Structure 1
Amino acid sequence: MTDLEIRPATAADVPAIVALLADDFLGATRENPDDLAPYLDAFARADADPNQHIVVAERDGRVVGTLQLTVIQGLSLKAAKRAQVESVRIHRGERGSGLGTILMEWSATRARELGCTVVQLTSNAQRTDAHRFYERLGYEPTHIGFKLAL
């Protein structure tokens, strides 16, 4: 993985991040890379929040991966901080290269640095390849997630 840099995302990275989000069978139906305004607005809000860490993996000046790490201060587990990993995406041409592992290892390291005692994530039930990937990294499917569309 030569010349790979994991760095905080900037507003200039938003088009590439949205393209990554849209480049799979689920994202193609729910993302809109043609209208970046809501993404730029959301990025500005997240960027201003010290508990939000949106990063990109960049190689040769090109965004090839992304994820968002959110620190959640809880009361349970003796007032533990948790790190929630969201929106993990790897460029189609980089899948299988080990980049996903590098990004997930970065997230665990950063979570420890931020005082978190657990890293958690949810994954759409249809993403069976992703489930195998997370389990290979030591993540355990300990909970069932529920969502309510508003």
Structure 2
Amino acid sequence: MGDLEIRAAGVDDIAAIVAMLADDPLGALRESPDDLTVYLPALERLTADPNQHLVVAEREGRVVGTLQLTVIPGLSRRGATRSIIEAVRIHADERGSGLGTQLIEWAVDESRRQGCQLVQLTSDASRTDAHRFYERLGFEASHVGFKLSL
């Protein structure tokens, strides 16, 4: 399968990212692949913030994966910096290829490089396959998450 490059996402990647975000039962309900203009201001905010890392995995000129890594300085845990992995998506053609592992390993390595002492993520309760995947990579299901839609 050709060489893989993990790089910062740009405007030209939005369609591929949104298509992957929408390619599951949860994303199909909340994403708008037919109107990409709503994603452009978000990309601008992400790009302007040095603590945000929206990346894509590209193979042979094609975007095949994505994730967002957020670095958060804090006071808890003796002033520890932590990172949060969000919106991990792998193109349907690449699932099972090891690409998800490579993306998560990139995020963990980048978190170390950024001085983080903890990497965390959330996963929707219905994504049981994803939960097994994260546990295989050493993540522990240690907390209960809560959300409030605004």
* TM-score relative to the length of structure 1: 0.98
Unaligned runs of 5+ in 2: none
Matches within 5 A, 1:127-138: 127-138=127-138
- Aligned-pair identity (%): 67
Q: Counterparts of 2:111 and 2:127 in 1: how far apart (Å)?
A: 24
Cα offset for 1:12? 1.0
Per-residue CA distance 1:56-110 (angstroms, 9 max, x = gap): 0000110000000000111100111001000000000100000000000000000
Instruction: Give the structure 2 partner of residue 35 of structure 1.
Output: 35
Q: Counterparts of 2:48 and 2:12 in 1: how far apart (Å)?
A: 15
Matches within 5 A, 1:46-125: 46-125=46-125
Q: How many residues align?
A: 150
2:83–2:119 CA contact under 8 A, matched in 1: yes
Q: Counterparts of 1:10 and 1:46 in 2: how far apart (Å)?
A: 10
Q: Counterparts of 2:55 and 2:145 in 1: how far apart (Å)?
A: 25
* TM-score relative to the length of structure 2: 0.98
Q: Counterparts of 2:104 and 2:85 in 1: how far apart (Å)?
A: 9
Q: Which runs of 4+ in 1 moved over 6 A?
A: none
Q: Counterparts of 2:33 and 2:79 in 1: how far apart (Å)?
A: 39
Instruction: Give the structure 2 partner of residue 18 of structure 1.
Output: 18
